[in-house]
Structures are given as C-alpha cells and as structure tokens.
C-alpha cells in the first residue's frame, strides 16, 4: 500500500483569491514504512509575500523570485503522488483546496477529496477534547520537533509521517499485541474464535545424545551438592 505524506506552505488562506502555494513537501510510505523517496519544491507565488506569512515560513520575495511557477512543477508533482496513493495531510481540506486551485489554474485535473486522509480528524477522533496541532501531537508521541522554528513543508511532512504512524498504532500498525486475553492452552483462529490447543499424545523424544547427557552430568557433578540442578533431580 502506497501513501504520500504531504504538506504545503502558502501566502495566506484565500486559495480561490490572491493567495498561492509557495512550497510543497512530500514523502512516500509503502506499507506504512518510509521508502526514502521525497518530493520538495519552492514555488514562485507571483505576488508579494505578506509579512505575516514571512514570519511563519521565513520565505521572502527575494528568495522566491527565481523559483519556478506552479505550472512548471505540476507534472513532477503529479508524477510523484501518482493516481491512487492516499494523501496523508494534517488539516487536509486546507492543503487540498490550495492544490486543486493551483492545478485548476495550470489546466490539470483536480484531486478528488476521497484521496485525502486527514490526520487532524484522526487525532480529534482518537483524543477528543485534546489539542490536535502538529506540535501538540509531536509532544504527545515524543516526536522531536525541536528543529521546527519555522514552518517548512518537507520538515512538516517528516514530522507528520511519524505522528501518523503513531496515530494508526505505531510503526507496525498491523501487529496487534493487545487483543482479547487468552487462557492457557488457547489459540485464536482467523475468524476471531477461540480454540483450545490440542495436547501431544506422546511427548517429544529428547534431542540430547548419550554422549551429551554424560558430559552434562559430569559437569553438574563438579558444582557440588548445592548446585540447583541437584535440587530438582
């Protein structure tokens, strides 16, 4: 199963108006494990960077002026996310709104909402009433976000990937260790029903050879009468 953990940075909040994407960061998971494949690009928003956005992202007009337009990176972005991978996004409606606005302007098909998996909603369902920002979830799960002085799309994607794996049950979400308690001699079938394990009609024969048994006995004899082996002989 392929998933793309994704984040965008923007000039503001009005995707259908004057605000634009200035950065995209994404990384690939396969079967809930990072593959090392990432996508990262800065985008020229074709407008001045507002001071409040600069304070959050640290991306100024001089830095962004020579970066490509979204239309120039759209094909590479679409190739990276593919056609069917889930897009794991924190507050997905925000990023999807901006991505689709940019894709529409560039003449590309938009992304269907069904492709997005919103970790904000996932966190609110799992921890109702608790803070669910990315920083709050990093603190909850012990994810080191000390390098997050400014918002950066690729760094936030890396942090979100760790948070997402914790939200779905840790780094091995398919390995369930806290199932129904089992009594001694019981096993759980694939359908969830419990069955008593059959006992062997005859014990397995010992695997020690006579020579090994004799050597062990000679070793125990050297330990004296207080040796633990002599107490249960």
Residue among 37, 19, 142, 137 nearest 8 (CA): 19
The angle, 0 to 180 degrees and rounded to 10, between the axes of the packed helices 92-105 and 119-126 is 170
CA distance linking residue 116 with residue 113, whole number of Å: 6
Length of the chain, please?
Answer: 233
75-81 contact pairs (CB < 8 A, 24+): 76/39, 76/41, 77/24, 77/39, 77/41, 78/108, 80/4, 80/26, 80/28, 80/37, 80/39, 81/4, 81/6, 81/26, 81/39
CB-CB neighbours of 194 under 10 Å: 11
Q: Which of 32, 151, 195, 216 is catalytic?
A: 151
Strand-pairing partners, residue 116, are 87
151 is catalytic: yes
Catalytic positions are 151
């Amino acid at each position: 199963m392929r998933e793309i953990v994704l984040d965008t940075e923007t000039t503001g909040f009005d995707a259908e108006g004057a605000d634009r994407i200035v950065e995209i960061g994404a990384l690939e998971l396969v079967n809930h494990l990072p593959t090392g494949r990432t996508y990262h690009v800065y985008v020229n928003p074709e407008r001045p960077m507002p001071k409040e956005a600069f304070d959050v992202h640290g991306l100024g007009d001089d830095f962004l002026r020579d970066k490509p337009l979204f239309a120039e990176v759209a094909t590479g972005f679409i190739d990276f996310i593919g056609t069917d991978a889930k897009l794991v996004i924190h507050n997905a409606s925000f990023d999807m709104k901006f991505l689709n606005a940019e894709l529409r302007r560039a003449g590309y098909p938009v992304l269907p909402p069904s492709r997005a998996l919103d970790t904000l909603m996932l966190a609110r369902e799992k921890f109702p009433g608790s803070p669910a920002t990315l920083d709050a979830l990093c603190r909850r799960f012990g994810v080191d976000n000390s390098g997050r002085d400014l918002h950066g799309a690729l760094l936030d994607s890396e942090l979100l990937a760790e948070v997402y794996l914790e939200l779905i049950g840790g780094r091995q979400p398919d390995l369930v260790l806290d199932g129904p308690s089992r009594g001694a001699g019981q096993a759980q079938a694939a359908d969830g029903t419990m069955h008593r394990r059959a006992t062997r009609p005859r014990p397995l024969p010992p695997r020690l050879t006579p020579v090994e048994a004799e050597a062990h006995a000679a070793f125990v004899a050297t330990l004296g009468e207080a040796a633990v082996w002599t107490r249960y002989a």
